[in-house]
Structure 1
Amino acid sequence: MTLNFIIALKNIVSPLIIRRIVMVIAFALHPPLFAQAVLTQPNVLFISIDDLRPEIGSYGSNIAVTPNIDKLASQGIQFNHAYAQQAICGPSRASVMTGLRPVTLGVTHNYVKFRAKIPEVVTIPQYFKEQGYQTTYVGKIFHHGDLDDEKSWSWLPKASWLPSSTAKPVRYANAGNAQIQQTHRKAMFAKYGQQARFGLGSGPAVEGEPVADHIYPDGYSTELAIAALARLTESNQQPFFLAFGMKKPHLPWIAPKKYWDLYQRDKIMLSQDTQAPQNGATMGLHASFELRTFFDIPKQGNISTEQAKQLKHAYLATVSYVDAQIGKLIAALAKENLLDNTIIVLWSDHGYHLGEKGIWGKATNYEIATRVPLIFWTPKLAKQYQQNAASVRSNALVELVDIFPTLTVLAGLETPQNLDGISLVPLFSQPERQLKTAAYSQFPTPALREWGAYPLRKGMRETYFGPLIEQVEDKIKSQVGQRWQRELFEQHLMAYAMRTKQYRLIAWQDTRDYNKAPMFVELYDHQNDPNETNNIAASERTIASLLLKQLKQQRYPNSHK
């Protein structure tokens, strides 16, 4: 009778609903057997890191102190050529969490919610929740203000689970720095009004006080994640999906002093790639707007060598701070004997310029801003490493949009059909394969967008950024001549980037008419110019034309919202 009932349902409800009905019936009839069956599905630890370029030991950094990520990579599979779909937090995270490209989802700046674009879109944790998983998170997973708590998460961890001595974290532990932030913010509001709400008035860009890890947000999140892990494993009747979001190395670059002490500043080397690409698009580089919102950063001109070394030191300290938190949580998994049935994925939402091409920040279409760390760890890969001590590395082109389908395959779940990415599981056993011919990214006019990729508000020109905006505008006008139109460059110009094994193509397209030729094309040859210093589109027209045709066939939408 039960079987007939389920068969009758097949034509009127979705497979997911049927699966859940079956699970309920199975639990009612045979609770012990059901619990044992469910627990054969692996748990998932989903590690998200903000603004982390591959400045990691396992990725070849000769200075970063990252023993925990290095160990994870050595026992799992590390993708050396993984790319974000847009080098800014909101669109990148919305893309990862839904498995849809920004151009599909319609989220291309930080001030639009993904469900405002596609209300019924299914996120990774939502999908796992629908498959019977407990899902929860700490820290930054979705972008701020787009948390999706009701649909994506089973429950949220509570601060009351921590010892009473664990106070809420602070942005600045130094009282003087906290006061600077407060005073500066008040001054910005007094001078610029509501425009100051959009990022103006920050305190110092760096701090390194001798405090415990949990005094700052990422250390606190780690303590809360460990407490949540204990709750997740209490019943042992459901697999879990635990999302662990690290806010660093996002600005401001703040970490406990002990992580600063891992580095000697005089050993820190600055990038030698400090000039814009020769013949490159002038609209492709911003004026380090986000960094300049901080109190101690000059509002115009170059960052001094001394301050640049301090800033890179701070970035490295936050990377090591984050690495330590990841190590603590993985140790907690090991203590609970959970690693034998847990999948771990580690990713960053985009890369970062630390002076490369003369700017500081994310928000470009170049390699340094779009290339990210991506690591998967599974019990099978770890066992393989223990047997032959050979780490798995893949140079295949992969994308963050591939995370969703890869996790479903690893968890033994059916993969939703509407995803833009593909499963990377075939590369786990054959890392030398190429599953795709290119990776794709996009970004709207970095030079004339605010640091959240939002079009310049009128009031922004009235702030201390006014002169910087005029400078970048003058450069663009000089390059494009009579094609200059402020509305076009601020509102409608989108750069679509395509990274193949050898080349990076960037096509600057008027999104009001995709039948028009691109306004500007950039082409960089990674075989001869890995730092993308010279745009060869004009001299290599045949190659540029062929790649542009591929880009149009694969990634241009019929319309753009």
Structure 2
Amino acid sequence: MLARALLQLYLFNLFLFPVELKPNFLFIVVDDLRPALGCYKDPNAYTPNIDKLAKNSFLFNRAYAQQSLCAPSRNSFLTSRRPDTLLLYDFNNYWRDSKDKNFTTLPQYLKEKGGYVTKSIGKIFHPGISSNYSDDSPYSWSEIPFHPFTNKYKNAPVCFDDSSYLNNPASNLVCPVNVSTTPGGILPDMEILEAAKTFLNHQQSNENPFLLAVGFEKPHIPLKYPSHFKSYHPLDKFIDIKNYSWPKNINNIAYNPWIDLRKRHDIKLLNLNFPWEKISMNYAKKIIQSYYSAVSYIDYLIGILIKQLRILKLDTNTIIILTSDHGWSLGEHGLWAKYSNFDVALRVPLIISLPDDDKLLINNKNDNEYKFIKNNKITRINSIVELVDLFPTITEFAEIPIPICSIVDKSQIINNNNPCSEGISIVPVIAAAIANNSTNITWKKAAFSQYPRPSLEPMLKPNSDEPKLNEIKFMGYTVRTKRFRYTAWLKFNQNKKKSNWNKFIAEELYDHNFDPNEIFNQQNNDSYRKIKQKIKKLLKNGWRKALP
């Protein structure tokens, strides 16, 4: 405890900012972004601006979402409550509607406890009923949240396909565009950038610290982006998808039939049999090309946003955090989109950039003092972290820490007056990385996630990808340790809104040491029997038992 306190004292007093100042936060959430970034060593990526941000920053190699669906994931990390606590697994409910689920949010906490100006621009909470059609205003935000005017044209028929599929514009999945000819002559993420720049311009004379949450909407489908970004991703650079088929040793309950893609005009024209027929490899590569092009487009906008922060000299007291709400499958297992418990759907990028980012603090072992040194490399941290950890991390940086939720203190159930977190601050991990020049810091034993299903086999109705709460019959719980991923599919009791841990439908166990793509299910392999029982117990015991 003393070592941790000393590290934090040095971190706050010597490294981050003068003790009398609270840091600003630029919180960037990129929708549906897997770690398809150069700084994450993705060979297909072209992301020079995010890569530049990652230099002298802390890059977490093992960061995981709690559910691979937009609204539940965002509800989870913005309240630091897990899906089973919120009972929000879909888009159709608002957590404040329930008397015992009136949870405090991250921006609300910063606003009320720390005097922060909080602003939401773009997609932070999921729009619609899941945030009360208001982005949880006025609770969470000091100002009215901003959404782009051109979002009304999100699914407009403006897409041209240069193949033989279409001669007229349509509502496609693959949708490179000439921006000047689109409705409004601008795209939503461009509007989001301009609104964020305007907010920053107003903060130069503001004495209060701020949380600016910027939610970029791409690469969420449709994959609509300025067509010139495709030049960074020629089609011939993408090789055939490895393991482009559903493994025979995995139960069908784990399959997501990517229904949202099937609604797009270009995918409809492929005349695929539901649910198993695959998209042809040629068109699959076009989807992948457009995903990476959309990521490069967002990278360009992020570069402009960070440049504006520096022009205004706000960067000297602003912590930048970049992440996503979940990952996205690009043909792995024959799957597309999110909606699963596989690593590719749950692993997200997480980059934390601290002020004065051309310096790092290290310990001089000879004289037991801390000194600044120049550093031009990424600090890659391999500790397991979760998106629910963001709330307590940010509040600890702001010096208004939030406690971990107690299973004894029932007053924390309604936590507006007694807020708590189901994650844990990762500030000590960052401090240890700085002090010890180490990236392999012992921390959480595992990350916990889950996904619901309405049936044992993939279905259109009810929707296997996005079941409503009253349609859920099974719940898949998954735990990711350093080496393994274990998933258990259980019966879900609709009346009690709980899963039955005595009714196992299927199990999965993957050894990432030799199977990083999670193709070979080892759950029936006798040589893994003891390991499986150990990890199964870890999953059943829950997240508290996995804390450092």
Scaled to the shorter chain, the TM-score interval is: 0.7 to 0.9
1:363 aligns with 2:350: no
> For residues 249 and 158 of structure 1, what CA distance do their matches in structure 2 show?
19
Q: Which residue identity lines up with residue 401 of structure 2 in the other structure?
A: E
> For residues 392 and 509 of structure 1, what CA distance do their matches in structure 2 show?
39
Specify the alignment match of 2:444 in structure 1. Answer: 436
Once the two structures are superposed, what CA deviation does each residue of 1:285-323 show, in whole Å capped at 9, x if it has no partner? 122211101111035332112211111111111101111
1:155 aligns with 2:126: no
> For residues 515 and 207 of structure 1, what CA distance do their matches in structure 2 show?
44
SS of the residue corresponding to residue 46 of structure 2 reads: coil
Q: Which residue identity lines up with residue 537 of structure 2 in the other structure?
A: K
> For residues 142 and 366 of structure 1, what CA distance do their matches in structure 2 show?
24
1:218 aligns with 2:201: no
Once the two structures are superposed, what CA deviation does each residue of 1:471-513 show, in whole Å capped at 9, x if it has no partner? xxxxxxxxxxxxxxxxxxx522100000111111001111336
1:511-522 equivalences under 5 Å are: 511-512=492-493, 514-522=500-508
**Per-residue deviation at 1:173?**
10
Specify the alignment match of 1:501 in structure 2. Answer: 482
Decide which structure has greater strand share. Answer: 2
**Per-residue deviation at 1:274?**
1.1
The percentage of aligned residue pairs carrying the same residue is 38
After alignment, is 531-540 or 513-522 more displaced? 513-522
After alignment, is 110-119 or 247-256 more displaced? 110-119
Corresponding residue to 1:527 among 496, 513, 518: 513
1:322 aligns with 2:298: yes
SS of the residue corresponding to residue 390 of structure 2 reads: helix
Specify the alignment match of 2:463 in structure 1. Answer: 450
Q: Is the 8 A contact 1:96 1:404 kept in 2?
A: yes
**Per-residue deviation at 1:427?**
1.7
> For residues 280 and 125 of structure 1, what CA distance do their matches in structure 2 show?
40
1:241 aligns with 2:227: no
**Cα pair distance change 1:421/1:296, threshold 3 Å:** same
User: Which consecutive unaligned segments of at least 5 residues does structure 1 have?
Assistant: 1-35, 160-165, 179-201, 458-489
Q: Is the 8 A contact 2:90 2:469 kept in 1?
A: no
Corresponding residue to 1:263 among 229, 233, 247: 233
Specify the alignment match of 2:538 in structure 1. Answer: 550
Specify the alignment match of 2:67 in structure 1. Answer: 86
CA RMSD of aligned residues (A): 2.7
Specify the alignment match of 1:128 in structure 2. Answer: 110
**Per-residue deviation at 1:176?**
5.0
SS of the residue corresponding to residue 198 of structure 2 reads: helix
> For residues 18 and 512 of structure 2, what CA distance do their matches in structure 1 show?
49
> For residues 230 and 517 of structure 1, what CA distance do their matches in structure 2 show?
56
Q: Is the 8 A contact 1:209 1:256 kept in 2?
A: yes
> For residues 537 and 352 of structure 1, what CA distance do their matches in structure 2 show?
25
1:352 aligns with 2:360: no
**Per-residue deviation at 1:390?**
3.1
Specify the alignment match of 1:207 in structure 2. Answer: 175
Q: Is the 8 A contact 1:39 1:238 kept in 2?
A: no
**Per-residue deviation at 1:57?**
0.4
Q: Is the 8 A contact 1:134 1:232 kept in 2?
A: no
**Per-residue deviation at 1:517?**
4.2
Q: Is the 8 A contact 2:59 2:352 kept in 1?
A: yes
> For residues 472 and 194 of structure 2, what CA distance do their matches in structure 1 show?
43
Q: Is the 8 A contact 1:281 1:520 kept in 2?
A: yes
> For residues 472 and 149 of structure 2, what CA distance do their matches in structure 1 show?
44
Once the two structures are superposed, what CA deviation does each residue of 1:135-168 show, in whole Å capped at 9, x if it has no partner? 1111000112111021000012679xxxxxx985
Corresponding residue to 1:400 among 359, 368, 387: 387
Specify the alignment match of 1:3 in structure 2. Answer: none
**Cα pair distance change 1:127/1:174, threshold 3 Å:** closer
Q: Which residue identity lines up with residue 485 of structure 2 in the other structure?
A: R
Q: Is the 8 A contact 2:79 2:105 kept in 1?
A: yes
**Per-residue deviation at 1:237?**
1.4
SS of the residue corresponding to residue 69 of structure 1 reads: helix
Q: Is the 8 A contact 1:170 1:215 kept in 2?
A: no
1:241-390 equivalences under 5 Å are: 241-298=211-268, 299-300=272-273, 301-384=277-360, 387-390=374-377
SS of the residue corresponding to residue 296 of structure 1 reads: helix
**Cα pair distance change 1:150/1:353, threshold 3 Å:** same
> For residues 285 and 158 of structure 1, what CA distance do their matches in structure 2 show?
36
SS of the residue corresponding to residue 232 of structure 2 reads: coil
> For residues 149 and 216 of structure 1, what CA distance do their matches in structure 2 show?
25
**Per-residue deviation at 1:451?**
6.7
1:144 aligns with 2:114: no
**Cα pair distance change 1:88/1:121, threshold 3 Å:** same
Once the two structures are superposed, what CA deviation does each residue of 1:165-202 show, in whole Å capped at 9, x if it has no partner? x9856646987549xxxxxxxxxxxxxxxxxxxxxxx9
After alignment, is 276-285 or 99-108 more displaced? 276-285
SS of the residue corresponding to residue 518 of structure 1 reads: strand
Q: Which residue identity lines up with residue 142 of structure 1 in the other structure?
A: F
SS of the residue corresponding to residue 313 of structure 2 reads: coil
Q: Which residue identity lines up with residue 211 of structure 1 in the other structure?
A: V
> For residues 490 and 227 of structure 2, what CA distance do their matches in structure 1 show?
46
SS of the residue corresponding to residue 208 of structure 1 reads: strand
Decide which structure has greater helix share. Answer: 1
1:54 aligns with 2:54: no
SS of the residue corresponding to residue 21 of structure 2 reads: coil
Q: Which residue identity lines up with residue 332 of structure 2 in the other structure?
A: E
After alignment, is 301-310 or 99-108 more displaced? 301-310
Q: TM-score, normalised by structure 1?
A: 0.77
Corresponding residue to 2:198 among 205, 208, 227: 227
Task: Point out the structure with max Rg over C-alpha.
Answer: 1
**Per-residue deviation at 1:38?**
10
> For residues 524 and 278 of structure 1, what CA distance do their matches in structure 2 show?
14
Specify the alignment match of 2:22 in structure 1. Answer: 41
After alignment, is 131-140 or 169-178 more displaced? 169-178
Q: Which residue identity lines up with residue 411 of structure 1 in the other structure?
A: A
Q: Is the 8 A contact 1:172 1:207 kept in 2?
A: no
Once the two structures are superposed, what CA deviation does each residue of 1:42-88 show, in whole Å capped at 9, x if it has no partner? 10101011101011001011121101111111221000011110001
Q: Is the 8 A contact 1:111 1:452 kept in 2?
A: no
**Per-residue deviation at 1:120?**
2.4
> For residues 520 and 232 of structure 2, what CA distance do their matches in structure 1 show?
36
Once the two structures are superposed, what CA deviation does each residue of 1:533-555 show, in whole Å capped at 9, x if it has no partner? 11111112222122111111115
> For residues 272 and 434 of structure 1, what CA distance do their matches in structure 2 show?
33
Q: Is the 8 A contact 2:63 2:349 kept in 1?
A: yes
Q: Which residue identity lines up with residue 429 of structure 2 in the other structure?
A: L
Q: Is the 8 A contact 2:389 2:424 kept in 1?
A: yes
SS of the residue corresponding to residue 504 of structure 2 reads: coil
> For residues 225 and 124 of structure 1, what CA distance do their matches in structure 2 show?
19
> For residues 228 and 91 of structure 2, what CA distance do their matches in structure 1 show?
33
Specify the alignment match of 1:16 in structure 2. Answer: none
Specify the alignment match of 1:415 in structure 2. Answer: 402
**Cα pair distance change 1:79/1:233, threshold 3 Å:** same
